[in-house]
Amino acid sequence: GAVVSQHPSRVICKSGTSVKIECRSLDFQATTMFWYRQFPKQSLMLMATSNEGSKATYEQGVEKDKFLINHASLTLSTLTVTSAHPEDSSFYICSARDSGHYGYTFGSGTRLTVV
Amino acid sequence: GNSVTQMEGPVTLSEEAFLTINCTYTATGYPSLFWYVQYPGEGLQLLLKATKADDKGSNKGFEATYRKETTSFHLEKGSVQVSDSAVYFCALSERSGGYQKVTFGTGTKLQVIP
């Protein structure tokens, strides 16, 4: 089946630094990937849609200069949290849709803690 | 816009009890409906899905029927196990702006005790 690998699973960084999260589709090509953020005891909130070879589409209220998304190939999308602050601490999850699979395959998520 | 409402948790059940997690939705068109499960510390996994009215999705003993007349997609299982303890998300998918956009409910935590 379709597999999405997300790395790292956990990261702790200092306030003011940047963190990159990778999302890879392992056995299929994903022209579109999605990045979500999950707050404790809350649902997943879509942050942005990442399109291969073009600029990401950000949801209302999401700072595109803070959450940089790059989708340079059909199997890799990255989310960079720039100048991280403690309020950016959260669980970030990516997903991708295989053209032959009606549904979405999710990565295992990244727990970001900014100290 | 689209929205998904599911019952608040946590839900605590004894092993072998019957499970129902309610989910209702609002959508402008004809969405597909999903249930996802998230085990502690992990990402989401697709549990089951239904793509049109009256479809029944099923997997691992879980079932949900797409009810257009009541805009509902309630999750049921006849006999839960401790290993079913997780957070369950109801979701819908509808085409928006050229791609499928997924809207999630807030999740319902299920705890099954021996």
A30-39, A86-95, B20-29, B71-80 — which is least confidently predicted?
A30-39
pLDDT at B106: 87
Tokens of A86: 């403690």
Answer yes or no: is pLDDT of B75 > 70.
yes
> Is residue A47 within 8 Å of residue A37, measured between CB atoms?
yes
What would the pLDDT profile of B5-58 be if each residue is shown by its tens digit? Answer: 998 889 999 999 999 999 999 998 889 999 999 888 777 888 999 999 999 999
What is the average pLDDT across B95-109? 80
State the Cα–Cα distance between residues B105 and B86, nearest whole angstrom. Answer: 15
| Chain B residues within 8 A of A49 when measuring between CB atoms | 99, 101
The backbone torsions φ and ψ at residue A100, rounded to the nearest 5 degrees and listed phi first, read -100, 10
**Do residue A106 and residue B107 have CB atoms under 8 angstroms apart?**
no
Put simply, whether A58 touches B (Cβ < 8 Å) is no
The backbone torsions φ and ψ at residue B45, rounded to the nearest 5 degrees and listed phi first, read -125, 135
Answer yes or no: is pLDDT of A44 > 90.
no
What would the pLDDT profile of A3-33 be if each residue is shown by its tens digit? Answer: 889 999 999 999 999 999 999 998 888 888 9
pLDDT at B4: 92
Beta strands in chain A (DSSP E): 4-7, 10-13, 19-25, 32-38, 44-51, 57-58, 67-73, 76-81, 90-96, 105-106, 110-114
Chain B residue whose CA is closest to A51: B99
**Do residue B100 and residue A97 have CB atoms under 8 angstroms apart?**
yes
**Chain B residues contacting A via beta carbons under 8 Å:** 32, 34, 36, 42-46, 49, 51, 89, 93, 97, 99-102, 104-107
Higher pLDDT, B3 or A103: B3
Higher pLDDT, A30 or A36: A36
State the Cα–Cα distance between residues B87 and A14, nearest whole angstrom. Answer: 30
| Chain B residues within 8 A of A113 when measuring between CB atoms | none
pLDDT at B65: 98
**Do residue B42 and residue A108 have CB atoms under 8 angstroms apart?**
yes
pLDDT at B98: 65
pLDDT at A1: 65
Q: State the nearest Cα–Cα gap between B45 and chain A, in angstroms.
A: 7
The region, left, alpha or beta by phi > 0 then psi within -120 to 50, assigned to residue B39 is beta
pLDDT at B99: 67
pLDDT-based confidence at residue A103 (cuts at 50, 70, 90) = low
